[in-house]
Amino acid sequence: MLSDCEKAITYRKSIRHFKEQDVDIEVVYSVIEAARWAPSGLNNQPWRFAIVKSREVKEKIANLSHYKRIFLEAPVLIPFFIDKNSIYDREKDLMGVGAAVENMLLKIHHLNLGGVWLGEILKAKEEVEKILEVSDNYEFLGIVAFGYPNEKDDKPRKRKDLTELIIREIL
Amino acid sequence: MLSDCEKAITYRKSIRHFKEQDVDIEVVYSVIEAARWAPSGLNNQPWRFAIVKSREVKEKIANLSHYKRIFLEAPVLIPFFIDKNSIYDREKDLMGVGAAVENMLLKIHHLNLGGVWLGEILKAKEEVEKILEVSDNYEFLGIVAFGYPNEKDDKPRKRKDLTELIIREIL
**Whole-number percent of chain A with pLDDT over 70:** 99
What are the DSSP calls for chain A, one per residue? ---HHHHHHHH--B---B-S----HHHHHHHHHHHHT---GGG---EEEEEE--HHHHHHHHTTSTTHHHHHH-SEEEEEEEETTT-SSHHHHHHHHHHHHHHHHHHHHHTT-EEEEE-GGGGGHHHHHHHHT--TTEEEEEEEEEESB-S---SPPP---HHHHEEEEE-
Q: Do B133 and A5 touch (CB under 8 A)?
A: no
Per-residue model confidence as pLDDT tens digits over A100-138: 999 999 999 999 999 999 999 999 999 999 999 999 999
**Residue B105's closest CA among B94, B123, B118?**
B118
Residue B150: pLDDT over 90: yes
Residue B149: pLDDT over 80: yes
- Which of B2, B4, B9 should be substituted to probe chain A, the one whose Cβ sees the most A Cβ atoms within 10 Å? B9
- What mean pLDDT, rounded, does chain A reach? 96
Q: How confident is the model at residue B152 (pLDDT cuts 50, 70, 90)?
A: confident
* Section B87-100 average pLDDT: 97
Q: Return the pLDDT at B141.
A: 98
Q: Do B9 and A107 touch (CB under 8 A)?
A: yes
Cα dihedral sign for A34, B34, A93, A82?
A: negative
**What residues contact B121, with CB distance under 8 A and at least 6 apart?**
B61, B64, B65, B67, B71, B128, B142, B143
- Which of A93, A144, A165 should be substituted to probe chain B, the one whose Cβ sees the most B Cβ atoms within 10 Å? A165
Per-residue model confidence as pLDDT tens digits over B15-53: 999 999 999 999 999 999 999 999 999 999 999 999 999
Q: Return the pLDDT at A71.
A: 98
Q: How confident is the model at residue B117 (pLDDT cuts 50, 70, 90)?
A: very high
Q: What is the dihedral of CA B95, B101, B107, B111, to 10 degrees?
A: -150
Which superfamily, per CATH, for B9-150+157-165?
Answer: NADH Oxidase (3.40.109.10)
- What mean pLDDT, rounded, does chain B reach? 96
Q: Return the pLDDT at A2.
A: 87
Residue B157: pLDDT over 90: no
* Section A55-79 average pLDDT: 98
What is the value of ipTM here, to two decimals? 0.98
Q: Do A94 and B96 touch (CB under 8 A)?
A: no
CATH of A12-150, one of 3.40.50.1110, 3.40.220.10, 3.40.109.10, 3.30.565.10: 3.40.109.10
Residue B84 vs residues A15, A94, A158, B119, B155: alpha-carbon distances, Å = 28, 17, 20, 19, 39
Per-residue model confidence as pLDDT tens digits over A136-166: 999 999 999 999 999 986 777 899 999 999 9
Q: Return the pLDDT at B19.
A: 98
Per-residue model confidence as pLDDT tens digits over B49-76: 999 999 999 999 999 999 999 999 999 9
Q: Return the pLDDT at A157.
A: 87
The verdict on B160 touching A (C-beta cutoff 8 Å) is yes
The verdict on A21 touching B (C-beta cutoff 8 Å) is no
Q: Where are the domains of chain B?
A: 9-150+157-165
Decide if B74 contacts B146 (C-beta within 8 A): yes
Q: Return the pLDDT at B103.
A: 98
Per-residue model confidence as pLDDT tens digits over A36-66: 999 999 999 999 999 999 999 999 999 999 9
Q: Do B165 and A101 touch (CB under 8 A)?
A: no
Q: Do B98 and A95 touch (CB under 8 A)?
A: yes
Nearest chain A Cα distance for residue B52, angstroms: 5
The verdict on A96 touching B (C-beta cutoff 8 Å) is yes
